Structure 1
């Protein structure tokens, strides 16, 4: 088995049989990936048939690339970290759309993982001993309305305290960065809980100690109120992958966390396409027709 050089720390589940595993924080820049037909044929052959069909249905190539990156990262994780062979790993989605590994090894039963993709990045986080959710958002607004009008349509998604933090910036760029940062945090909580669409986002309110996120440096001093009370079972890791992409990892423990060890704050490791397929095994026959169709698709709507 080939092991890549990752940034990691060791986490141990308290009050259970000890399980030691690397904390995974992976990122893949989809805008820097320009797959040709051969790349698509290779990638499509490495994923499950239903995943392949889903990716082929995307209208724009950027969405197909992002979805493919997420699937390849999960399978890489199952193979290189959890110890399954590439072909052994079987993924499904919950009723709420959250991907999970059907045949999680018994000795890894305390492991959780999550993926997200938006803008120019696909990301993945995995840990042991907590439920985990991750979200990435491009800090950019390109809608037809003005920023104040956009915020007005979204007013019910945030609490008054959160809007105060957003409006504490005097410029629209700062307000948008804070808005998308809050959105990443909320999505991280929803995904860690596995509840999907329909969760009332105003039940969750964040208190930010660090006003502006740094690039490629983890901030972990955000706290959350659930239904009006601080809930210290949550730990949040936030950073900017680049100046225009905010990412948040939300981890929920069974008991409150009294502090965050610096050794647990793992920076994101940027993967290449070759990194993601290094342990790959062919699961389906190479599909030249679908690969050609994907190459011909428009990258974006504009």
Structure 2
């Protein structure tokens, strides 16, 4: 039941964001999904100032969040640093070892105490999920081919199959109550083929793309659930 509530709030967030940013009435908003399940806005009249408007929502634990970008791809992953109840931290993370590179796994198991090991595990997992969600891929993506490098989770860099992707940026944010959120911002050329068809602008020169890549990274704004419902005159949220 709790997960269903979070999913409902996630849906409300998507409509509230689109209405706030693009000014589309709630009852005129149409959200579709790609073959891989990536949500996107179906719009006949793209906003020239936000040619690739796209968004990503995530929920886990006590938080539901959403992020959007006007040009670049965006991926978001929220994770609660939940302590396993029926097994040790080491036993819990071992079943996920195949999803990490050798270097990442070394950093995880050598992070310190069990609590520190678990925190490092979740941080790596979160940034990987943010990247995969940004490109619009599904659960079949080989996570062990994505390798993250960082300095105390600053200056985060990603390598895919050993090659550094210089046209990506990442942030890992500490939330309240032992939650973290990872945000990925990257080039639309990395989008899956089905997701790429939903974008209006996928080819840029370096100057055009860097304007989008280096936009300021806004902080999260906390809202109450009641703030997400449409006000009078903006229509109703369509049923799921």
Q: TM-score, normalization: structure 2?
A: 0.82
Change in CA separation of 1:146 and 1:186 when aligned onto 2, cut-off 3 Å: same
Specify the structure having the higher radius of gyration (Cα): 1
Q: Distance in 1 between matches of 2:36 and 2:83?
A: 27
| Candidates 164, 176, 182, aligned match of 1:248 | 182
Q: Distance in 2 between matches of 1:158 and 1:257?
A: 30
Task: Give the drift of 1:97.
Answer: 1.5
Aligned to 1:152: 94
- CA deviation vs aligned residue, 1:109-130 (integer Å, no higher than 9, x gap): 3211110111111010001111
| Candidates 220, 225, 234, aligned match of 1:273 | 225
Task: Give the drift of 1:205.
Answer: 0.4
Q: Secondary structure at the match of 2:26?
A: coil
Change in CA separation of 1:229 and 1:284 when aligned onto 2, cut-off 3 Å: closer
Change in CA separation of 1:141 and 1:66 when aligned onto 2, cut-off 3 Å: same
Aligned to 1:174: 116
Question: What stretches of structure 1 move > 4 A for 4+ residues in a row?
Answer: 254-258
Task: Give the drift of 1:282.
Answer: 2.7
Q: Distance in 2 between matches of 1:145 and 1:257?
A: 46
RMSD: 2.2
Q: Is the 8 A contact 1:138 1:246 kept in 2?
A: yes
- CA deviation vs aligned residue, 1:250-296 (integer Å, no higher than 9, x gap): 111256869x75x61211111112321153523569xxxxxxxxxxx
Aligned to 1:14: none
- CA deviation vs aligned residue, 1:207-248 (integer Å, no higher than 9, x gap): 02125xxxxxxx5x1101111121111110111111411110
Change in CA separation of 1:158 and 1:143 when aligned onto 2, cut-off 3 Å: farther
Does 1:87 find its partner at 2:41?
A: no
Q: TM-score, normalization: structure 1?
A: 0.66
Q: Aligned residues, how many?
A: 215
Task: Give the drift of 1:145.
Answer: 2.4
Q: Secondary structure at the match of 2:84?
A: coil
Matches within 5 A, 1:111-126: 111-126=53-68
Question: Structure 1: any 5+ residue segments left out of the alignment?
Answer: 1-59, 212-218, 286-302
**Higher RCO (C-alpha 8 Å, min separation 6):** 1
Q: Distance in 1 between matches of 2:217 and 2:109?
A: 29
Change in CA separation of 1:131 and 1:104 when aligned onto 2, cut-off 3 Å: farther
Aligned to 1:39: none
Q: Is the 8 A contact 1:232 1:257 kept in 2?
A: no
| Candidates 29, 36, 43, aligned match of 1:96 | 36
Change in CA separation of 1:104 and 1:169 when aligned onto 2, cut-off 3 Å: farther
Matches within 5 A, 1:1-302: 60=1, 62-103=2-43, 105-107=45-47, 108-211=50-153, 219=154, 221-253=155-187, 264-279=216-231, 281-283=235-237
